[in-house]
Amino acid sequence: MAAMDERLKSLGIVLPDVMPPVVDGYVAVFAPFARSGDQIHLSGRLGKEDGKPLCGKVGEEISLEQGKLAARGVAIELLAVLKAAAGDLDNVRRIVKLFVMVNGAPNFTEPHRVADGASELLVQVFGERGIHARSAVSVAQVPFGACVEIDLIAELNSATQIGGSR
């Protein structure tokens, strides 16, 4: 078993199957990831509950803690996409950046605390290689009314062959 798979197992993290970006019949017309040099850019993923978008505004229907847990769940899903793209998480040199969009109530001023759910998980999984740059913003809406959307940029080891045809 690869070192990163052992790490995930020790943390009790099970990566989900990578599902195509389809919600309520909408089929996305973009790739789940794209490589540019040694960087891989992952398309945004939504906060979910039972496989469906967790909808609502953080600070109204969704509590700060629920938002943070949703961001953690998105990070786990992003790890699954990253593993599928890189072939193995051991091929990831480092996490470069997260962009976290929180569907926040009009006066919600703590998107950074929601984003911590994803950031903390990435540092738990990758250690120092998981420390990243980050932007966290509260927005009027994200697709399907989900409470959070996150995209990720990672750097791969130079010799890594990318999975799929992206």
Task: Tell whether 90 is covered by a domain.
Answer: yes
Range of the domain at 90: 3-16+37-156
The reported pLDDT for the residue numbered 31 is: 86
156 by Cβ neighbours in 10 Å (0-12 / 13-18 / 19+) ranks as buried
The reported pLDDT for the residue numbered 158 is: 77
Task: Tell whether 29 is covered by a domain.
Answer: no
The reported pLDDT for the residue numbered 28 is: 74
Task: Tell whether 150 is covered by a domain.
Answer: yes
Three-class SS state of 36? strand
Domains held by the chain: number: 1
Task: Tell whether 27 is covered by a domain.
Answer: no
The reported pLDDT for the residue numbered 104 is: 98
Residue with tokens 């998107």: 111
Q: Is residue 72 predicted with pLDDT exceeding 60?
A: yes
Q: Is residue 117 predicted with pLDDT exceeding 50?
A: yes
The reported pLDDT for the residue numbered 21 is: 64
CATH number of the domain residue 48 falls in: 3.30.1330.40
Task: Tell whether 23 is covered by a domain.
Answer: no
Mean pLDDT over the full length of the chain: 92
Q: Please write the tens of the pLDDT for every residue from 1-59.
A: 689 999 999 999 999 988 766 666 667 788 899 999 999 999 999 999 888 899 999 99
Task: Tell whether 26 is covered by a domain.
Answer: no
Question: Measured between alpha carbons, how far is 73 from 133 in angstroms, rounded to an integer?
Answer: 19
Task: Tell whether 164 is covered by a domain.
Answer: no
